[in-house]
Chains A and B, each alone.
Chain A
């Protein structure tokens, strides 16, 4: 048969086409009963699909668990006590007379801000409580598109202003960073933030403050922070977290050495 095909190579294309059409018809007519290869191929396809897609589904399920939030925001423990004052865009804590001023620009959704809080916050809070530093928080909103629904950064920053007015800022701030929503996942809602405030002892004005929101205020604060910080940096970028020590950008705030140095010279 193969020899004949070589001989009639001029008509090969036409013949191949015919042959293929015919064979497809035959294969279809036979169904799965006659073709061993159909069975083998079918099994192989199913196995590969199950492995690839099933593996992906398992991976998704595994990742999803890590981002689940509890139904209520767990309130953080009471930390060191320090005075809090709301001054314009800034939440000023610690001692106003301290020789060391530390500015922290944070977005409540930013994972690196969460990391910074975990590593440095206990020491910063203690130093503020001891009156060694003036610790200024600048809540900003640069990750609004990264939460579901969008806008958690602005919501949380606005709520932190409300918390400062209500006298519950330290624990409110600590609670949001201790159980920080994950980027791309569902974030805390207005109701959950209101409930946290109530649990922490905020007055009745807090809930309406969070409800009303402070979108314009947060937007303005973010714009101001972005202009100010990018003006300090050689690359003219603004990101969170940004830490300023006496007005100068701390290049690697995660390494606590800059804080050691600052505190060793700090006068009460």
Chain B
């Protein structure tokens, strides 16, 4: 069985982490710059009472930006990956219920969104894409150690602390 060395896996992890960070940063930014469209997109799911559409449309992009930022920095990677995964599950559930109820909407995952003509929906593609993102989050959940991360930087510091603490070196 092929065993990849730790540094290679850390490097791959960094690619996964930064890729997922880019997904959340881009999707959050596209929603933030067009708040009217984001309200339309959230409203089109016909899930929330009218009073909650605005707050969710305002808050969701901020959560996405925060998750994206924390992923990009590589801090508390396992917990942030868990949050990212849970967010993706919620978004996939929203898309799936729209599909099941026969709504004709665009998911508005990366800006845009709202009603589309019947036959112009892309539910399978949207769900497949989200599953792909969830796989990335799953990797980080299972193996949160990545290169170029604050986590790694802190671990390196702690290692020297461990040495200073006088434990035998092996």
Contact = CB atoms under 8 A, between A and B. Distances in A.
Whether A associates with B in a native complex is: yes
Interface stretch (B34-42, B92-100, B135-143): B34-42
B111 to A, nearest CB: 12
B99 to A, nearest CB: 17
A184 B155 contact: no
A16 B43 CA distance: 50
A184 B158 contact: no
Contacts of A27: 154, 157-158, 161
Contacts of B6: 12-13, 16
A183 B112 CA distance: 12
A19 interface: yes
A26 B162 contact: yes
B13 interface: no
B39 A20 contact: no
B167 A15 contact: no
Interface residues of A, number: 45
Interface in A134-177: 145-146, 148-150
Contacts of B54: 148
Interface in B44-96: 44, 50, 53-54, 58, 61-62, 65-66, 69-70, 73, 75
Contact of A148 (B39, B65, B150, B155): B39
Contacts of B32: 56, 59-60
A149 B50 contact: yes
B37 A49 contact: no
B69 A26 contact: no
A37 B69 contact: no
Interface in A19-69: 19-20, 22-24, 26-27, 30, 34-38, 41, 44-45, 48-49, 52-53, 56-57, 59-60, 63-64, 67
Contacts of A23: 155, 158-159, 161-162
A53 B36 contact: no
A146 B39 CA distance: 9
A77 interface: no
Given A4-B169, A183-B40, A184-B39, A45 B65 contact: no
Contact of B62 (A15, A35, A53, A184): A53
Interface string A181-208: 0111100000000000000000000000
Nearest to B113: A184
A145 B167 contact: no
A36 B62 CA distance: 29
Given A19-B159, A27-B154, A184-B39, A145 B115 contact: yes
B36 A182 contact: yes
Contacts of B170: 4-5, 8, 11, 15
A234 interface: no
Contacts of B169: 1, 4-5
A66 B10 CA distance: 47
B161 A34 contact: yes
A34 B6 CA distance: 28
B1 interface: no
B165 A26 contact: yes
27 contacts: A1-B163, A4-B169, A11-B170, A16-B6, A23-B159, A24-B158, A26-B165, A27-B157, A34-B161, A35-B158, A38-B154, A44-B73, A45-B70, A52-B65, A53-B65, A53-B66, A56-B65, A59-B32, A59-B33, A60-B35, A146-B114, A148-B54, A149-B50, A183-B40, A184-B35, A184-B37, A184-B40
Given A48-B73, A56-B29, A145-B44, 20 more contacts: A1-B169, A4-B170, A19-B159, A20-B145, A27-B157, A27-B161, A34-B161, A35-B154, A41-B154, A44-B150, A45-B75, A53-B62, A53-B65, A56-B65, A57-B62, A63-B33, A145-B114, A146-B115, A184-B35, A184-B36
Interface of A: 1, 4-5, 8, 11-13, 15-16, 19-20, 22-24, 26-27, 30, 34-38, 41, 44-45, 48-49, 52-53, 56-57, 59-60, 63-64, 67, 145-146, 148-150, 182-185
